[in-house]
Amino acid sequence: MGTASADAPLDADRPGAGNAATTVPGGMVQSELGVNFVATGRGASRQTLWALPLALRAGVMEGFELRGGPVFIGIDTSGAHAQVERTDGFLGAKWALAENAGLVPSLAVMVDVYLPSGRGAFTAGGSAPEARFAAAWSLGDGWSASVNAGADAVPVSGRHVIRALYVANLGFAPPFLGGCVTVFVETYGRIATEADVDPLLQLNEGVAWLVTPDLQLDVYVQHGLTDGAPDLQVASGVSVRF
């Protein structure tokens, strides 16, 4: 199974838009907390948001984890006065299917449901289920690659619209840094099946620093490539396993 060993470094669902192809070891919990800044538009239509996304992942047994993001804080700084709001939470599960061996990647499947617990700019306005596969390969000499593929269903004008999603990531951990620092670049998209819904396409890059086997720090930048994506997102975070 693609369970991250308790003796191996943690494998977080961040940074970036992709989720890991491994599960948290049985009996352990992983906390992944971020600080996100998002900017979209210009002039009077410019919107700036801050959020503190939190994901908790609990290893129930080998190859299976329960996961969730409790309702947390978002701050809309677009107007003259900042507005503090709740954010949408989520509940889900992940199953590990295989470990990386040669050309066979680490494989996992996960199902999450985002709940309309937020307010204002921090809610989708309804439940939003999502399912995705994750695959990851170690390519040798510090190089790695991963992909996510799946779909979600988001509320739009009183109906749910299905969107295909993908993430393609290439990472490099320089051997002279002991493999504890990884830089990456990835492309990320969510493309609706209905033509009147703008696609979301982004180019992302960032770095993750494994301080200890149970502690990771990260920072990354996302650039919007379409009208359906935020113009710019800058995020940093910390992942802890215990």
Answer yes or no: is pLDDT of 1 > 60: no
CATH for 29-241, options being 3.40.50.410, 3.90.79.10, 2.40.100.20, 2.40.160.40 = 2.40.160.40
pTM of this structure: 0.92
Nearest residue to 109 via CA among 70, 151, 139, 145: 151
The string of pLDDT tens digits covering residues 63-106 is: 999 999 987 789 999 887 899 998 999 999 999 999 999 889 99
Mean pLDDT value of segment 143-149:
98
Per residue in 164-202, is it b (16+ CB within 10 Å) or e — as a string? ebbbebebebeeeeeeebbbbebebbbbbeeeebebbbb
Please say whether the beta carbons of 205 and 218 come within 8 A.
Answer: no
Q: Please give the radius of gyration of the chain, using alpha carbons only, rounded to the nearest integer.
A: 18
Extents of the domains making up the chain:
29-241
